[in-house]
A and B are shown apart, each in its own frame.
Chain A
Amino acid sequence: MTSPGQHRVLWTTVVAVPLLLSAIAVVQMRIDAGGRAPGDESDLLLRSPDAVRRMSLGYDALAADIYWTRAVQYYGTRAGTEGARFDQLYPLLDIATALDPKLVAAYHFGAIFLSEPPAVGAGRADLAVALVKRGIAANPGDYLLASDLGFIYYWYLKDYSASANAYLQGSKMPDAPSWLGIMAALVAQRGGSIETSRMIWTEIYNSTQDKTIRERALEMLRDLRAIEDIEVLDQLAQQYKNRVGHFPASSADLRDEGLIRGNPVDPEGYPYVFGPDGRAQLDPQSPVTIPQGLRLPGELPH
């Protein structure tokens, strides 16, 4: 049996607790609305991996996961925002990988986050190289990290010799797949070619389960297809000029001359347009972009 006094306490509690919690939430919302609170999440109070390791009291592995997750969140909230800065991305990755040198995901994805040009990433392929090299030193048998290094040199830094060397080192690692050796030879011989780029992006697509990376690889494969289309259209435009005496104004001219059938469109369905110099171009509205620095087959040394 409960006394009336106990009942009063019980009902007071039932009413007071939700009320007080609601009031706390309201005050917190006011604090948040007031601007930057002390200890904003973008602050990285400790930048020394050694200090963080000591403070983690032996729970280094869990602390590494937390720092890696922070890095992902940090990148995710800024990627794609015009003018976004990624100043703390490398320190976060540095701490995560110092706490757990075998945290391969942090090297693998972190290098991409660092390398991607602004505003998609930090545009710091040099830091990505340093990060992945540290990863290879800590995980000597991990050929995928060697492949990452080769890719960064190839795609972001256009250093084909260093890229070929990285792929070659990866191909010598135990259990390395044969495509790494092929890649080393291809990059050394035909660095910067579309076919090499296509092979690299296809391997990236096949070797990862991560949705974001796979989407990025598909985007790049789509862009590479556009480059090939443009190259073919340029050749047809030259043929058109040889026949008619001037460059085509649109793809309809090529069609009327019987050089093509239908209206050629880019991988996103936008029709190709022709400039005054007769060169095929992407529609300005098209989301497809042409990667810089790639060499067309005709430009490659033989």
Chain B
Amino acid sequence: MSATIGPVAVNTFREAVRDRVLYNLVLFALLMMGAAILVGQISIGIEQLVISNLGLSAISLFGLVMAIFIGVGLVYKEIERRTLYSLLAKPIHRWQFLVGKYAGLLLTLAVNTAFMTLGLAAAFLYVGGRAGRADLPILIAIYFILLELALVTALALFFSCFSSPMLSTLYTLGIYITGVFAPDIRSVGQFTKNPMLLGITRAIYFLVPNFHNFNAIAAAGHGDAIPSSIIWQNSIYAVLYVVLLLVASAAVFSRRNLK
């Protein structure tokens, strides 16, 4: 199985690198350097905090943009360029192709995030911080961002199996924003006495991926300890959702008429 998924994943990663998606690292480096130099001059008492908040937010935002815009084209591009046909002529299942594509993009995002983490560490060193146990919440926050990106990639891939890149982008963004507001959606229902509205908001709350779960940027900035229970619960949540979306994607894609 890995003999078929692996090459697809590696090729997806290579293709992303060839498409110069890692160029965003230059922008990230400039952003962090600018912040490290400027913040001390224009604000008070938040030099380290802003490096952490800005760095983690940028890792998340850059990753999101990559996950959505590359994710929605993963299948579409292969169909457009007709490379999918030669690929599927080989002994590979459609679901294996999808998982390979997904793994390749995830690998790209992980490499990108790893480099940005190094950039963040360099910015911390510049403003006088030191690496140590106190930085553990920041690493956990980055791990949560990766989980978030894994989910967004799966969403983008799912929509790309049956829709155009433009619409897939809109759908993925829509679901992402809804997921960010998941707790607000639930509290809207709790404010009402209408049982039907309460039921609907509860259903939406459990149905959409709850991206609020993965937001540990503020906690990491303040050096707050993140309980291990949240780490494994978030991990299981993300894995379950990703598997759900990949299964759904495979189901849709395997029935899709490619002629």
Interface positions of A (Cβ within 8 A of B): 54, 57-62, 64-65, 68-69, 72-73, 100, 102-105, 108-109, 210, 212
B44 touches A58 (CB 8 A): no
B43 touches A58 (CB 8 A): no
**Distance from B222 Cβ to chain A, minimum over Cβ atoms (Å):** 5
B218 touches A68 (CB 8 A): no
Q: Is the interface of B mostly helix, strand, loop or mixed?
A: helix
Which of B44, B60, B61, B211 interacts with A105 by CB under 8 Å? B44
Which of A62, A65, A108 interacts with B43 by CB under 8 Å? A65
A73 touches B46 (CB 8 A): no
A69 touches B57 (CB 8 A): no
Residues of chain B with a CB closer than 8 A to A59's CB:
57, 60-61, 217
Residues of chain A with a CB closer than 8 A to B50's CB:
62, 65, 69
Rounded to whole angstroms, the CA-CA distance of A222 and B49 in the bound complex is: 34
Number of cross-chain contacts by CB at 8 Å: 63
Q: Does B53 contact A (CB under 8 A)?
A: yes
Map CB proximity to A onto B221-232 as digits: 1 under 8 Å, 0 otherwise: 110100000000
Interface positions of B (Cβ within 8 A of A): 39, 42-46, 49-50, 53-54, 56-57, 60-61, 177, 180-181, 184, 211-212, 215, 217-218, 221-222, 224
Q: Which of A61, A65, A72, A109 has the most CB of B within 10 A?
A: A61
B217 touches A62 (CB 8 A): yes
A72 touches B184 (CB 8 A): no
Which of A61, A68, A210 interacts with B217 by CB under 8 Å? A61
Q: A58-B212, A102-B218 are in contact. Are A68 and B57 (CB under 8 A)?
A: no
Rounded to whole angstroms, the CA-CA distance of A221 and B27 in the bound complex is: 47
A61 touches B218 (CB 8 A): yes
B184 touches A54 (CB 8 A): yes
Closest chain B residue to A101, Cβ basis = B218
Closest chain A residue to B216, Cβ basis = A61
Rounded to whole angstroms, the CA-CA distance of A104 and B46 in the bound complex is: 9
